[in-house]
Structure 1
Amino acid sequence: MSAITDRETPITPREHPPSFDEVYAASYTDLAVQLYAYFGDRQEAQDVAQEAFCRALARWDGIAGYDDPVAWIRRVAWNLAVSRWRRARTAMNFLRRQRTDEPRIDGPGPERVALLAALGKLPAAQRRAVVLHYLADLPVSEIAGRERVPEGTVRSWLTRARTSLATELNGGPQ
């Protein structure tokens, strides 16, 4: 007999309720197979079956007294499966409503790549001065205050940096 057509292995009636381990050993595989038929994904089916058994374990003192504790676990597993399916469907519907064409943004051009490479070759103080003055539009006085140097030093850094950048980018001073 195949596992798909077999019913869950019955737990024989006893005077005392079955232990969780007994129910788990007798029912996990059957439940996972049933859920696999629903999901079509073995890992998802096993995850849902495990979650259902985890929830049962947390409440085992009460569930063990039921006439059919496996029915409770099965119901929880199916509820979890339906919830996951609904969440997945909602996510797919959301994704379908999104724009399919993302705007294409070109990468940096060769001029920008060359500029960044040339800036990377400058000493750190000169590079900071160029970035703060030309990209952040800070005046020389403010750069001097931030770097804690005289304004003349900042002007010197900028002059040296411009000369180095011109040599690096154009092959000579401009």
Structure 2
Amino acid sequence: MDTVPDDPIRRCFDVSYRRLVGQLYGVCGSLTEAEEAVAEAFARAVAARRTFERVAEPEAWLRTVAVNVARTRHRRRLMGDRLHRRTASAVDGRMPELTDDRLALVAALRSLPQQQREALALHYLADLPVAEVAETLGVPVGTVKARLSRGRTALAAVLGTEAIVNGGSRG
């Protein structure tokens, strides 16, 4: 992409790319899918440059686009290949900087339904408030709260811990 040194998209890329990939990794459960969704979000920002440059919160705009891209890809993959589910390697040389605890959490998130996984990843891994999670996912705040509650309960069962059910750490 041809850019000038003060290009706002380039600045946003430099500041936000790794953080967005880390957040989307929690949503997707696959580093490759996370990277592709974030790359697609930036490609759409370039294609809609005038709109993107007027956005008050560019990283939030990119995150929303990336989540929607990830959702669309997930639906297409399920429709196109219900018999063969692709599994991503938990250890890949391109892993974002995540602690062992966070990697274990992402692995556990993979076992949850997509809607619960998205809400939990955006709220706890991306550290977004419930209202922003709702806006990103395009659902009411109450829906996010319900998904978080059910997701914490399911995650606690997978991880075998009560800390998550009771709200746990946002780390």
- Give the number of the structure whose alpha-carbon radius of gyration is greater: 1
State the TM-score, normalizing by the size of structure 2.
0.42
State the TM-score, normalizing by the size of structure 1.
0.42
